[in-house]
Structure 1
Amino acid sequence: MSATAFEKAGLAGRVITVTGGAGGIGRAAALLCASRGAQVVIADLDEAGGAQVVGEIERAGGRAAFIRTDVTIEDEVRGMVAFAVSTFGGLHGAFNNAGLMLGGTPLTDFPIDLWEKGVSINLTSVFLCVKHQLRHMLDHGGGAIVNNASASGAVGIPMAVNYVATKHGVIGVTRAAAAEVSGRGVRVNAILPGAVETPLLAEAVKAPGVREAVIAGHPIGRISQPEEIAEAAAWLLSDASSFVTGACVTLDGGYTAI
């Protein structure tokens, strides 16, 4: 009997890394993947937050571990992959979610040090993660990688040159990787969320009227919850999306439709 769609969406037996897993979308994805049977490695700079998520997973009967990781440093990314393999015996999926939002500054005034910081955290980190995840997966039976690119990777947004440029770059890394390795058992996709209720967004919309303007830009009439975005990431990590690679799945409440 062939597997049902529900069975294909399960993640039992998979080892999955989640960068930026201590909070926001990463936390939601880690909890969801664990609830579907995955063993989850949470990688973040926030040790207290990471330990808290591990505790939540374990109290629910799942398995998880935390490793402090600066995803802009290649040796630490390499170490994250090695940690997943040594702790749980392999690496079958990865959600590359860590990122930083730098906005509110005109392009003509954007300082080079902040530009380089944003490129390092939002784009170079994804390249490094995909590089080392692929090295393992290509030699050990394949896998699935999901990169968090943001709806900002599909449009231009005033006063957000660095975030827009780096998220466009994440889409480029995703598509290039998918084209290169898809015939070798690894699928690589990206998700493009709109505004999501996270601490990152709260900081970005704290000025008067900004939150209302962000909501108004989403035809659905609200901001999404992290759990809604996590559902798409988990689906792309599962066999339910077995024919999907090189895709950029938009999860933005209609933001890029207008």
Structure 2
Amino acid sequence: GLSKPTLRAVPSSVVTIGKQVTIICEGPPNAMEYHFYKEGNPDFQIPTTHQDTEEKNKIFISSIRSHNAGQYWCCYKSPAGTSEHSDTLELVVTGVYSSKVTLSSMSSHVVTSGGYVTLQCSSQEEYNSFILMKEDQIFSMPMASQNTYTGVFQALFRVGPVTPNQRWRFTCYGYYWNSSQPWSFPSNHVELLVSVSQEMHLIFFYFVWTLHNSTIWAEPVTLITSESPITVWCDGT
């Protein structure tokens, strides 16, 4: 049978309202025409007059709006016939809802390598769900909102085990179940710092314990972010 096309969004499938995005349906070289579909459209098909580009396998949206959010799929026609549909692409538009969302850590922002931390996403708006993003990529499954009965709605996300070989920078969004692709504006950023390992603490302790009349210090500081340079000085007498 014919190979299934691949549908993707560039630069991302999560787009801020007013920004541009290109939806690309990738098929074989002998594909003669492409058809795009969107959930909710009549017959689901997107009319070709809505395509603002001459490349037949692309849809260019110059300024995305909330009505552009939704589920998309595509197929192509070749001399051998019509392909099956691509996997569904979920196009999300952020900044649709203006009610503020706040992200915070339930404990310290400094986490030992291999450890876990719980992040709280909350809002005074009655969002049904919250979702956590890491470096602008979806990090978690959506979590149902919990009513704290203090006028705040929240969801808790457990993050870990954290490792020092990557950046742990998060935001979160709120949205409603009945329309899951339009999201709120992003929350504030929360960045977790991965602390030095327990073994490193023991090495420092060993230096101090064995060199009674010495001084040990670190430059620029004793607490640094992962992969940052540090110099450890030991002044003995």
TM-score, with structure 1 as normaliser: 0.25
> Looking at CA atoms only, which structure, 1 or 2, has the larger radius of gyration?
2
**More relative contact order, 1 or 2 (CA 8 Å, 6+ apart):** 1
More strand by share: 2
More helix by share: 1
